[in-house]
């Protein structure tokens, strides 16, 4: 087996041959106090800042200064139709039609809005099915929705759990649960990628099986959008929500996004919480003369307030970049980059590191979740001192994500070297 130090040249050669390597230059890479570049492997938590963001926000600030309120219809990118600029790029990102995607609010707010429309419990069909270790905000949202409808989460919330001794869910076990409980399930709500284990769920298969039993199907794509290819329209997903600040690099607390399949999005009678920006543009500015809400067609009809321009600008920059590069190219590099990480861990730290995430490249995205045997309590601090930034989730999972837009093979090699140093 080769010595880790001898493999550094291999990593640099891989980078030299990488056609996507120039993309790294479009991002600000954090540095240490001595000015050296950090190995940033935390894009699953907060993506790095594209350099063009500052330029675009400055343009909006300049239009505000020069035009005032008239910038809604004048200036570089008129604000009135600003959210429409993200329709087509956002749709291509998740495999949707343009009218099925809208950028608005934050992820959990959008999830609540979607459950207003799509969680309509009846006496016989009232349960919600989620995966084990779902993102906490999703669980809180679901439980409060159940309480709102007068239901007890202990009875109405179903959780699909891995088999004893396993970390990831088997799709056949999800199907078996649906077979047993499907006629009582109103909503299936899964993460596209589980935030703890990094497991990519078979969204197409889960959707098809759940809908066969009459369930509505929604996904939280916070860790999937910009990470793995999606085909929401063709998979017939009912709705999906996602944030734009992880793999999509649109900044902390960035405006989130929402997908609503056209068969629902174009149904004006579907229950929803309404606001003036979801009103049909032809009547939106009739104000007090238009007392009845008339939703505009498509996902736009779920908007409540006018879009926050300074927060949407980074999302626009991100979507344009993903549209330019394409998810196919990013996914190809992601598989190779994450596979290289797995290879080095297996070669040099197999006795100390358990990879929780599946070894199947189709069942994982960028993220590998690791359990480190005998890890020091200050492992994260030691890694940062060694020039590496990743993160930790209780009780014992180290999350590492080599992102194809800006991470390198040498980043991966440097992480394994730093982890090896921390464990010796």
Residue 301: exposed, middle, or buried by beta-carbon count in 10 A (0-12, 13-18, 19+)? buried
Give residue 121's pLDDT: 98
Domain ranges of the chain: 4-51+326-422, 77-325
User: What average pLDDT does this structure show over 377-389?
Assistant: 92
Give residue 281's pLDDT: 81
Summarize pLDDT for 89-115 with one digit per residue, the tens: 999 999 999 999 999 999 999 999 999
Summarize pLDDT for 125-137 with one digit per residue, the tens: 999 999 999 999 9
Name, in order, each residue with C-beta under 8 angstroms of 350's C-beta and a sequence gap of 6 or more: none
The CATH architecture annotation of domain 4-51+326-422 reads: Alpha-Beta Complex (3.90)
Residue 313 has pLDDT above 90, yes or no: yes
In 251-350, alpha helices (H): 262-265, 309-325, 327-348
User: What average pLDDT does this structure show over 332-340?
Assistant: 98
Summarize pLDDT for 181-194 with one digit per residue, the tens: 999 999 999 999 99
Give residue 283's pLDDT: 78
Beta carbons of 78 and 232 less than 8 angstroms apart: no
Name, in order, each residue with C-beta under 8 angstroms of 105's C-beta and a sequence gap of 6 or more: 113, 255, 256, 258, 304
Q: How confident is the model at residue 374 (pLDDT cuts 50, 70, 90)?
A: confident
Please state, rounded to an integer, the average pLDDT across all residues of the chain: 95
* Separation of alpha carbons 75 and 59, rounded Å: 9
Q: How confident is the model at residue 144 (pLDDT cuts 50, 70, 90)?
A: very high
Q: How confident is the model at residue 357 (pLDDT cuts 50, 70, 90)?
A: very high
Summarize pLDDT for 258-301 with one digit per residue, the tens: 999 999 999 999 999 999 899 988 777 777 777 888 899 999 99
Residue 2 has pLDDT above 90, yes or no: no
The CATH architecture annotation of domain 77-325 reads: 3-Layer(aba) Sandwich (3.40)
Same fold for the domain at 4-51+326-422 and the one at 77-325?
A: no
């Amino acid at each position: 087996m080769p010595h880790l130090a001898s493999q550094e040249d291999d990593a640099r050669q891989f980078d030299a041959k990488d056609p996507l390597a120039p993309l790294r230059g479009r991002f600000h890479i954090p540095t240490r106090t001595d000015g050296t570049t950090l190995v940033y492997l935390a894009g699953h938590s907060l993506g790095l800042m594209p350099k063009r963001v500052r330029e675009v926000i400055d343009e909006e600030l300049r239009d505000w200064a020069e035009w005032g309120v008239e910038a809604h219809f004048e200036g570089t990118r008129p604000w009135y139709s600003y959210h429409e600029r993200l329709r087509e790029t956002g749709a291509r990102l998740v495999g949707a039609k343009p009218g099925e995607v809208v950028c608005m609010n934050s992820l959990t707010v959008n999830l609540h809005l979607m459950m207003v429309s799509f969680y309509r419990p009846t006496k016989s069909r009232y349960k919600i099915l989620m995966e084990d270790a779902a993102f906490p905000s999703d669980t809180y949202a679901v439980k409060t929705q159940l309480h709102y409808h007068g239901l007890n989460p202990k009875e109405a919330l179903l959780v699909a759990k891995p088999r004893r001794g396993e970390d990831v869910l088997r799709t056949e076990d999800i199907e078996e649960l649906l077979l047993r409980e499907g006629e009582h399930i109103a909503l299936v709500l899964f993460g596209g990628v589980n935030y703890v284990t990094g497991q990519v769920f078979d969204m197409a298969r889960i959707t098809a099986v759940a809908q066969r039993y009459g369930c509505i199907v929604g996904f939280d794509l916070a860790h999937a959008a910009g990470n793995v290819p999606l085909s929401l329209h063709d998979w017939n997903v009912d709705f999906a929500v996602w944030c734009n600040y992880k793999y999509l690099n649109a900044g902390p607390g960035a405006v989130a996004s929402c997908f609503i399949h056209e068969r629902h999005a174009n149904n004006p009678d579907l229950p929803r919480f309404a606001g003036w920006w979801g009103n049909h543009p032809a009547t939106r500015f009739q104000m007090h003369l238009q007392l009845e809400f008339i939703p505009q067609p498509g996902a736009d009809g779920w908007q409540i307030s006018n879009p926050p321009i300074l927060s949407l600008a980074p999302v626009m920059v991100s979507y344009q970049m993903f549209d330019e590069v394409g998810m196919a190219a990013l996914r190809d590099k992601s598989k190779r980059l994450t596979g290289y990480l797995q290879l080095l861990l297996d070669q040099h730290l197999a006795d100390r590191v358990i990879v929780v995430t599946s070894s199947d490249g189709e069942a994982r995205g960028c993220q590998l979740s690791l359990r480190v045997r005998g890890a020091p309590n200050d492992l994260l601090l030691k890694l940062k001192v060694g020039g590496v930034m990743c993160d930790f989730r209780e009780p014992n999972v180290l999350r590492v994500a080599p992102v194809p837009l800006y991470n390198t093979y040498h980043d991966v090699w440097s992480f394994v070297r730093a982890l090896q140093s921390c464990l010796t």
